[in-house]
């Protein structure tokens, strides 16, 4: 049974790393004492080692040991044998390129679909969707494919921002970009505001968190769903 959390962000403004998600993490990884962390997105260029240490320190409070995937001589075997996973935020292009280059995307997908609990934040949530086409990140590298794990039947836009009516910024809004995506694809997109997440238990998928999520479907006007809403497309 799939057991997944796909969150918009790792930390709310002014809070410690993963603080708002700790009750969710404790539930997701209940009865699990060790997970693998996938550090490949490297936010702000942080090294795999330093990124993993940050996660190790945070999860130690919850009584969960963490090993970085980059430390294994055979990462595919490590994924197959792992009890659970966390993929952190950063640059989705770099994360996806690394997973595809090491032939790990489908290995990770299989492990999660077979029941290993999975936590994603930001870029780590993007790869839970069908593709990474709706990321906000700059294409600092070129992945061989934009296809991701497809753990849910839609794409995500973490860190979704509503237009600011008082802003003098003339650039495109997130909604504009997603509408552009829907000229090319019929894949639904969920805009995840900070503090919101997607919860998957088996075949049941719900929107959760502190705020509504914004739903975009091709040919329809965007609409809001409250936390706890069952998502079906």
Element (H, E) at 15: none
169 is catalytic: no
Q: Which residues on neighbouring strands pair with residue 201, listed in sequence order? A: 3, 204
Q: Which of 137, 196, 207, 213 is catalytic?
A: 137
- Alpha-carbon distance of 45 to 16, in angstroms, equals 20
Of 67, 95, 106, 60, the residue nearest 83 (C-alpha): 67
Alpha helices in the chain (DSSP H): 22-28, 48-60, 75-81, 92-101, 105-113, 123-126, 174-181
Based on the residue annotation, tell me whether 137 is a catalytic residue of this protein: yes
Residue 114 CA, chain-centre distance (Å), reads 18
In angstroms, the Cα distances linking 190 to 45, 76, 122, 208 are 27, 30, 13, 12
Catalytic residue at 122? yes
125, 159, 207, 213: the catalytic one is 159
| DSSP letter for each residue of 136-198 | -S--SS--S--B---SSSSEEEET-----TT----S--HHHHHHHHTTT----EEEE-TTEEE
Which residues are tagged catalytic? 122, 137, 159
């Amino acid at each position: 049974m799939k057991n997944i959390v796909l969150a918009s962000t790792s930390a709310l403004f002014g809070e410690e790393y993963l603080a708002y998600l700790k009750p969710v993490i404790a539930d997701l990884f209940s009865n699990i004492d060790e997970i693998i962390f996938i550090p490949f997105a490297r936010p702000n260029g942080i090294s795999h080692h330093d990124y993993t240490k940050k996660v190790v320190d945070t999860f130690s409070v919850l009584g969960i040991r963490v090993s970085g995937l980059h430390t294994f001589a055979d990462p595919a075997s490590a994924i197959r044998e792992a009890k659970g996973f966390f993929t952190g935020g950063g640059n989705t292009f770099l994360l996806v390129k690394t997973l595809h280059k090491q032939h790990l995307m489908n290995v990770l997908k299989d492990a999660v679909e077979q029941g290993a609990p999975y936590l994603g934040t930001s870029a780590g949530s993007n790869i839970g969707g069908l593709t990474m086409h709706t990321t906000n990140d700059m294409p600092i590298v070129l992945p061989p494919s934009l296809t991701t794990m497809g753990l849910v039947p839609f794409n995500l836009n973490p860190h979704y921002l509503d237009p600011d009516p008082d802003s003098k910024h003339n650039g495109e809004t997130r909604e504009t970009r997603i509408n552009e995506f829907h000229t090319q694809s019929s894949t639904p997109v969920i805009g995840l505001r900070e503090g919101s997440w997607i919860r998957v238990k088996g075949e049941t998928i719900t929107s959760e968190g502190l705020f509504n999520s914004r739903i975009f479907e091709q040919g329809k006007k965007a609409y809001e769903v409250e936390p706890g809403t069952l998502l079906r497309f």
